[in-house]
Amino acid sequence: MQSNFRERMKIKEIVSALERFAPLPLQDGFDNAGLQVGLTEAEATGALLCLDVTEAVVDEAVMLGYNLIISHHPLIFKGYKSIIGRDYIERCVLKAIKNDIVIYSAHTNLDNAPGGVNYKIAEKIGLKNVRILDPKEEYLLKFVTFVPDAQADRVRKALFEAGCGCIGNYDSCSYNLEGEGTFRAQRGTSPFCGEIGELHKESEVRIETILPAFKKAAVIKALLATHPYEEPAFDFYPLKNTWTQVGSGVVGELEEPEAELDFLKRIKKTFEVGCLRHTRLSGRLIQKVALCGGAGAFLLPKAVSADADVFITGEVKYHDYFNYENDILVAEMGHYESEQYTKEIFYSIIQEMFPELEVQITRVNTNPIKYL
**b/e burial code for range 92-129 (CB count within 10 A of at least 16 → b):** bbbbbeeeebbbbbbbbbbbbbbbbbbbbbbeebebee
Quick one: which of 263, 342, 334, 329 has its CA closest to 290?
329
Query: How does strand 47-50 pair with strand 68-71?
Result: parallel
Residue 260 assigned as binding residue = no
Q: What are phi and psi of 322, to 5 degrees?
A: -70, -40
Residue 339 assigned as binding residue = yes
Which whole-number Å values give the CA distances from 292 to 82, 163, 331, 334, 342, in the listed order?
A: 35, 28, 11, 11, 13
Residue 107 assigned as binding residue = no
Q: What are phi and psi of 272, to 5 degrees?
A: 50, 55
Residue 227 assigned as binding residue = no
Residue 72 assigned as binding residue = yes
As to burial, measured by CB atoms within 10 angstroms (0-12 exposed, 13-18 middle, 19+ buried), residue 88 is: middle
Show binding-site residues for a divalent metal cation.
Answer: 72-73, 111, 335, 339
Show binding-site residues.
Answer: 72-73, 111, 335, 339
